[in-house]
Amino acid sequence: MCGICAIFHADAVETEDSIQKMVAVLRHRGPDATGIRTFLKGGLGHTRLRIIDLQSGDQPMEDPTGRYWITFNGEIYNYRRIRAELALLGHTFRTQSDTEVILASYAQWGRSCLDRFRGMFAFVIWDSRDHTVFAARDLFGEKPLYFGAERQNTLLVASEIKALIASGRIETHLDYTSVDAYLAFGYVPPDRTIYANIHTLPPGHWLFWDGEKTTIACYWRPSLNTKQRTLNAAAEEMDELLRQAVKRQMIADVPIGAFLSGGLDSSTVVALMSSWAGGSVKTFSVGFGDSIDELPYARSVSRKYATEHFEMDLGEPDVGRMLERMAQVYDEPFADTSNIPTYLISQFAREHVKVVLSGDGADELLGGYGWYIPLVRSETAKSSLVKWILYRSLSRLLRPQRDELHLNSMALGLSARWPDMWTRNIMCHMQMRPVTRRRLWKDRWDGVASYYPGDYFQPAREVLGMNRAFAYDLSSYLPGDILVKVDRASMAHGLETRTPFLDRDFVEFALSLPASLKATSDQTKVLLRHVYERLWPETVQKRGKQGFGSPIDRWLTRPDVQELAREITGNGTRLKTLLPGVTTFPEKDAYTAWIILVLGLWLEKNQVKV
């Protein structure tokens, strides 16, 4: 796990000073070593977190011929098998690293090498003979990759936006449609950035630059091609593939551990790690005192599997200070409140290990979110707006039956207003509807292209029912929110996070499952529960979905947060200039208030021109 950067020109231009600056701001991603290699027409930079081949895997790295050079961020978990195959084809190796295997794979198979990799990755390869660049990113974008140009016939690439800006070669311009997208969802969608002139290489895509033009193409995308399976047949295949994924991702030459929330996903990962580990697995958990306390659930899993358990109770963290810190860690406004506990537990875990496994990806692949239940019910709900309003009113009045009525009310509302399941799921995610955003933009609204997810997120026509809902979460929420949150929070401390549920072999199996084995009208994660319930302590079996959230309502009333809000909402502030309709704080809705607060702090901390 590392930080990477590169600059290339069609003609000879000095780049070393700019790359030095880019490497400096990426040092948190790779505190163990740095490297720079410059060429007549550009250069590569690298900051390394040593995980595999501690002695000889430093970068940038060249292949034996000297033609290809690489800077690479991530891990290829099946690199030893690929290396053995390449050795039979005549390739020789000087290191024990997965980096060298990527170079040899590209030399042997070209772009098709991407289909052989099982791992998380973002890399840039320079062809010093043809003066071309090939870059690629993993399936869901676990590892980030951004690019831009200071002028025609140039290319700058980096792991984080702050490195592109630090080069001194790109003057940023705010993208107002991306701001509107952030207001709608609380994160910038994964096919765009907050800046008009800085771009992200989307997950599952490669980039090729020939000195004049940049070509981008998709080599993989989530394809929900359902196959009929019996419950028992699916259970057997799932167990085999997930065990294989966990085993693969435990490869390291440094200490390794796991995040343990005591939820179904992390508990499953820890249970499977324990079956492969030579000793006790190190586990890490976090709590918020009396407000959100996951620690008892995590302890029960730890006891069952005799893990070496570390926990921290945050109580009430210094929220104001953490909000300001998040505005620097995240290069774009990012309103997922769980980034604060993720940042703090990563800092805590890094004192003991360099690598942790997590349960991320299971909710999107296996039907784990609470909003899937009303979405399933909406498939058969016969509704009218009048009936929906009646149910919604009853759910507020009849407290003992409120949960069930609330679910039915949601299902009826979704059914009455939006016929397409893809649209219904988008509306479940949307934090600010257009009418609210229009109020914030005020007289600037006419100059803003209102955001709505476009073709990039659309599933194929043959994808039907709940699979249309899953498709949106896999293409937007997972890469745009969940994986961004974890990468930036963990890499701020030089901690590598791995996600066994996103192993390609397991992913393609999960995508083929019937929707009924994921979520039904009254249960989430149907197949996961069937396969692994026996591995969970009884307290975890009975536990409902909680998530890694934060007590946001209380946080917003803190004096330090209120003071920050006053500072960023006054006349003449960047937030007020950008969104003239921002008036009082907090807004009635807590998450709306949080989104606005995070945006205002980000604008000020990053000195963004509006």
Beta pairing, strands 355-357 & 132-137: unpaired
Above pLDDT 90, what percent of the chain?
A: 78
* Residue in 473, 537, 115 with CA at minimum distance from that of residue 305: 537
Give the SS3 label for residue 577.
helix
Residue type, 305: Y
Active site includes 2?
Answer: yes
Residues in the chain: 610
61 strand-pairing partners: 70
Instruction: Tell me the average pLDDT across 166-184.
Output: 95
pLDDT of 56 reads 86
Separation of alpha carbons 424 and 421, rounded Å = 5
pLDDT of 500 reads 98
- Does residue 440 contact residue 582 with C-beta atoms inside 8 Å? yes
254 strand-pairing partners: none
What pLDDT digit, counting tens, does each position of 211-241 carry? 989 999 999 999 998 888 889 999 999 999 9
Looking from the CA of 566 toward its CB, the CA atoms found within 13 Å total 7
* DSSP state string for 260-311: --SSHHHHHHHHHHHHH-SSPPEEEEEEBTTTB--HHHHHHHHHHHT-EEEE
- Does residue 24 contact residue 36 with C-beta atoms inside 8 Å? no
pTM of full prediction above 0.85: yes
What pLDDT digit, counting tens, does each position of 444-492 carry? 988 888 999 999 999 998 999 999 999 999 999 999 999 999 999 999 9
- Mean predicted lDDT score pLDDT of the chain: 92
Please name the residues in contact with 315: beta carbons below 8 A apart, sequence gap of 6 or more. Answer: 288, 289
Task: List the 496-498 sheet strands across, edge first.
Answer: 308-313, 282-287, 256-259, 355-357, 496-498
Residue 191: is it exposed, middle or buried by C-beta count within 10 angstroms (0-12/13-18/19+)?
Answer: buried
Lookup: tokens for 136? 């690629």
Sign of CA dihedral 244, 245, 249, 250: negative
Angstrom CA distances, 386 to 27, 183, 283, 409, stand at 58, 30, 50, 11
Residue 484: is it exposed, middle or buried by C-beta count within 10 angstroms (0-12/13-18/19+)?
Answer: buried
Number of H helices, E strands in the chain: 25, 17
Task: List the 2-9 sheet strands across, edge first.
Answer: 33-39, 42-48, 2-9, 154-158, 146-148, 198-200
- Does residue 132 contact residue 211 with C-beta atoms inside 8 Å? yes
Residue type, 198: I
Task: Give 3-state DSSP helix, strand, coil % of the chain, rounded to 5.
Answer: 45, 15, 35
**Residue 587: pLDDT band with limits 50, 70, 90:** low
pLDDT of 549 reads 58
Neighbours of 211 (CB within 10 A): 16
* Residue in 494, 169, 450, 174 with CA at minimum distance from that of residue 329: 494
Separation of alpha carbons 165 and 161, rounded Å = 6
Sign of CA dihedral 152, 158, 160, 165: negative
Give me the domains of the chain, ranges plus CATH numbers: 2-218 (3.60.20.10), 231-367+494-541 (3.40.50.620)
Please name the residues in contact with 606: beta carbons below 8 A apart, sequence gap of 6 or more. Answer: 327, 328, 331
What pLDDT digit, counting tens, does each position of 539-581 carry? 898 776 555 557 888 899 999 999 999 999 888 899 999 999 9
Residue type, 371: W
Residue 438: is it exposed, middle or buried by C-beta count within 10 angstroms (0-12/13-18/19+)?
Answer: middle
Angstrom CA distances, 130 to 64, 126, 552, stand at 17, 9, 54
Q: pLDDT at residue 300 above 80?
A: yes
- Does residue 549 contact residue 481 with C-beta atoms inside 8 Å? no
According to DSSP, residue 133 is labeled E
- Does residue 477 contact residue 198 with C-beta atoms inside 8 Å? no
What pLDDT digit, counting tens, does each position of 57-103 carry? 899 999 999 999 999 999 999 999 999 999 999 999 999 999 999 99
- Does residue 198 contact residue 465 with C-beta atoms inside 8 Å? no
Separation of alpha carbons 85 and 469, rounded Å = 39
What pLDDT digit, counting tens, does each position of 381-425 carry? 766 555 556 555 555 555 544 577 778 878 888 888 899 999 999
Instruction: Pick the catalytic residue from 2, 5, 113, 428.
Output: 2
Angstrom CA distances, 526 to 216, 229, 247, 386, 541, stand at 38, 14, 24, 33, 13
* Phi, psi at 609, each rounded to 5°: -75, 130
- Does residue 499 contact residue 361 with C-beta atoms inside 8 Å? yes
137 strand-pairing partners: 122
* Phi, psi at 180, each rounded to 5°: -65, -35
Beta pairing, strands 496-498 & 308-313: unpaired
- Does residue 69 contact residue 23 with C-beta atoms inside 8 Å? no
> DSSP alpha helices (H): ranges in 281-384?
295-305, 319-329, 339-349, 362-366, 372-380
What pLDDT digit, counting tens, does each position of 239-291 carry? 999 999 999 999 999 999 999 999 999 999 999 999 988 778 999 998 877 66
pLDDT of 290 reads 67
Can you give the C-alpha Rg of the chain in angstroms? 24
Sign of CA dihedral 492, 495, 501, 505: positive
Lookup: tokens for 226? 């359902």
Lookup: tokens for 423? 């649209």
Separation of alpha carbons 519 and 523, rounded Å = 6
Separation of alpha carbons 282 and 278, rounded Å = 12
